[in-house]
Structure 1
């Protein structure tokens, strides 16, 4: 079974220098006969340079090991890069586009594409990662100093009575903090009450930090092809 695919008088020019045992160079012959091809009428149903597809497991019985057809396929050649044919193994065809300045398909014979792709950082969509944030609570304690008291100096004034310097009234309330001309000043060492063995807890503020997100993924390539069915491309030369 053969399927008509594309009418074209051109095939890949880069393969024009290839020549196998058949002694035929498809592209070179088409170039040589382009004038007669454009001016003469068809003697066969197929214009030279036409590419079609064959979808049959018997194809290998219809072509020689050099890639040229026999029997009903005489004049046809497998498009595998030999005999000046375009190498269409593992490729699909796309129509030429000469009207778009940004087209990748402006030149016949141009090849490109890949079956598997691994995205780079620049090819990934712009995106962000959000960290919900977290905090750390720090609890500190002072060291234990044991049961202890603190001494301090208490300064006070008391009233002086009489003319003798040997008699001074020291009140039980430790005197006053101010004095007039007949008061006497005193300084006494006092001790605070003991608070017993104890320690103080200190709770610190929460700390803010920069969180990092662990990388994921396996750096593997992904499938870059639509569903496919394998056929054989052949090109018609007529000889």
Structure 2
């Protein structure tokens, strides 16, 4: 074994290399020679991951360089921890080989413009945009799904289109939707349409059907016509109108049998009225609120 020391200063248990005044907080202070011409560093013990894990009872704070992971490791008394360089995750930087297993945070927040991987688990994810391979462009929603959109119909999310009948899409403009029912003819095929905004009733539906009116009247005349007339006899004097040839004066009296009445019965009907439909249509829709139907594209 050959030990070579150059410019070493020992002071009160401190070692200074290229300095006579080691830093008071350091047991070993290595500096470049005066003038900065020395560009050499400290070379830690180098070994593979198998060799590192094979160290029996490593001392706490023991540090080695792992040639398998190409990273410095130190022992914290229970496990080896790598000195992770500040490199973007997912690039070809030296930090990438460390991220080959699960990462668990008990506290703190992971902040990154882009986070990629095959399996990311978290209780809460707060982000402006989550892009997962195979599930981009809202692919968690199946193609052909239709939702109601309250935003601007001219500014739809990526991967969505209006249900306006274009491109083979259903035309749901101004329409209600009813559920599929294979037991009802009107509803047993997806895409069936029907119904009207307004309806004019026919005579059979409550307009004015053909009809007539009949009437019977009963009545009686009054019996107030009963009356009599008295006629006096002249007494042989001039001007007598009647003479029975007897000496007695007699008069004639009319009978009171003239009172009578009549019963009247009148029956008839009107002519048939012509068949007539309603003159104006009526509202056939429930109260409504307008939203746009949009469909998920492939």
Q: What band does the TM-score fall into relative to the shorter chain?
A: 0.3 to 0.5
What's the TM-score, normalizing by structure 2? 0.35
**Higher relative contact order structure (alpha carbons within 8 Å, sequence separation ≥ 6):** 1
What's the TM-score, normalizing by structure 1? 0.43
Greater share of helix: 1
